[in-house]
A = this chain, B = another copy of it.
Amino acid sequence: MSNLETVFNIAAVERDTGLSKDTLRVWERRYDFPKPGRDANGERVYPQEQVDKLRLIRRLLDLGQRPSKVIPSTSAELTTLLESYRATSAPGTPAVVEQELMQYVKLHRSGELLAALHQGLMKQGLQRFVAETIAPLNEAIGEAWVRGEIDIPEEHLYTEQVQNILRGAIGASTTSNGRPRILLTTFPDEYHILGLLMAEATLVPEGASCLSLGTRTPLADIQSAAVGGKFDIVGLSFSVAYPARHAIEGLVELRDALPTHIGIWAGGAALKDKQRRLPGIRVVTDLADTLTALREWRSVHST
């Protein structure tokens, strides 16, 4: 049996952590971490543990820490630090159901997971199910991922099951003539689709007609699809891992490329507190705010 000792090249680490190749190299130069090995060709080879630590660091940077502070710490210290954030922020979200679902993910109980999700959907209805079950669960999964408690296949399994549930429910309640007409997609280097599906699941029951292009649409194509399809709004989703700077640059460029009568809504953790750098763009802070944005649009466009 061959050894599948997991190592990563620099491109893979960029994908997994959201830290650019340039950043990874300059950190190595300045802070002496990460310290990858080299293969026969002199190219960097990152072991699993260093990638894990980089993910922890990335998470702390998103929380406002600075590289020089966190990079020298050990993984254990970083985990403690992350948990201290967790303690301060989470006000009353006990969620027994959430813990149960999380267990199914960790134990690969896909059957039970699907059944429990289905049950939640039936009980709460699509919108509440998404807002009260899926969204918090997403966050819990993200945190567990950073803490190394869950793995890629577990995250894949989770994403697949949620997609199965949400796409089924969206398909059942879809309308094609409602207003506004909303085009949903992501930028080319964003792979995460759950944000889009959650937005669609929130908007469709309100009578908006949503069209999702899935992930990874080039900017020029977003523009031509929006104009050609006579959409009122373009909705973009950014996961935590998406570099805020990229998001802002891309959004500004898109705003410039679209006629002013087409609105842009941008949502996701990467854009928290970035509204002031995004004139002409509606930053959607969470799913409830998505509904607020919808009401705003309708009150402005009612004649």
Contacts and interface: CB of A to CB of B under 8 A. Distances in A.
B172 A15 contact: no
A160 B212 contact: yes
B185 A156 contact: yes
Nearest to A6: B220
A285 interface: no
A130 B217 CA distance: 26
A111 interface: yes
Nearest to A163: B167
A153 B224 contact: yes
B174 A114 contact: yes
Tell me the number of copies of this protein. Answer: 2
Interface stretch (A74-82, A90-98, A248-256): A248-256
A176 interface: yes
A296 interface: no
A6 B163 CA distance: 32
Contacts of A211: 110, 157
A188 B18 contact: yes
Contact of A260 (B1, B165, B170, B223): B1
A141 B6 CA distance: 37
Interface in A211-241: 211-214, 216-225, 228-229
Contacts of A225: 108, 153
B12 A249 contact: yes
A214 B159 CA distance: 8
A55 interface: yes
Interface string A104-116: 0000101100100
Nearest to A184: B160
A2 B220 CA distance: 11
A12 B167 contact: no
Nearest to A174: B114
A252 to B, nearest CB: 10
Contact of A213 (B153, B189, B218, B246): B153
A39 B174 CA distance: 46
A164 interface: yes
B16 A218 contact: yes
B213 A151 contact: no
Interface string A164-198: 11011011101010000000010111010000000
A288 interface: no
B16 A219 contact: yes
Interface in A248-289: 249-250, 253, 256-257, 259-260
B108 A229 contact: yes
20 contacts: A2-B256, A2-B257, A6-B256, A15-B246, A15-B249, A16-B219, A111-B176, A114-B176, A152-B221, A153-B213, A153-B225, A156-B213, A157-B213, A160-B212, A160-B213, A160-B214, A164-B170, A164-B171, A165-B171, A168-B168
